[in-house]
Amino acid sequence: MRRAGRKLTHVDGSGRLRMVDVGGKQRVRRTAVAEGFIRLAPATRRLLRAAALPKGDVRAAAEIAGIQAAKRTAELVPLCHVLPLEDVQVRLTPAPGGLRAVSRVTCTAKTGVEMEALTAVAVALLTVYDMCKAVDADMRIEGIRLLEKRKGDGEAADRVG
């Protein structure tokens, strides 16, 4: 099967899903950066700034949850490879209308870390949602996307978003 001139790597010749065999590939340093946003009510943003939410430090909990999620991506996404992650950074920062989550994941492996970066952002934002749902019924998670992927130390990044 082909899509836009490229062979779909997770589908075999008879159309069945399969995990891609990366055994013949070289290990290369790889980095991916992803982002997402959670829209919060003004009152929720004030509670966050004052560190007054009932469940505690939302940003710290969400950042840790994102790191944990990146490390467990292969357990959550069926066709992902287990990767030896070397660094996972997740940061939540105030942005107009809510919080922006950004993850950066690095490893030296035979396949990329895009899914780990996206999973980190998604779970970080879900954690914010969980910790704020008692005070904000109208939250919206938006715009989760891959911003950049890099293969090799010296190569220019592929800007995705």
Q: Which residue range(s) make up the domain with 110?
A: 23-153
Judge whether 5 lies within some domain. Answer: no
Judge whether 129 lies within some domain. Answer: yes
pLDDT of residue 24: 74
pLDDT at residue 7 is higher than 80 = no
Is 12 among the catalytic positions? no
pLDDT of residue 80: 86
How far CA 56 is from CA of 4, 38, 60, 98, in Å, comes to: 47, 18, 9, 17
CATH classification of the domain holding 131? 3.30.70.640
How far CA 85 is from CA of 63, 113, 140, in Å, comes to: 16, 8, 30
Judge whether 160 lies within some domain. Answer: no
Judge whether 18 lies within some domain. Answer: no
Which stretches of the chain are assigned E, i.e. beta strand?
2-3, 6-7, 28-39, 85-95, 98-109, 140-151, 158-159
- Annotated catalytic residue within 57, 87, 130, 158: 130
Judge whether 9 lies within some domain. Answer: no
Judge whether 13 lies within some domain. Answer: no
pLDDT at residue 108 is higher than 90 = yes
Judge whether 14 lies within some domain. Answer: no
Judge whether 61 lies within some domain. Answer: yes
Overall average pLDDT of the 26-43 stretch: 96
Number of independent structural domains in the chain: 1
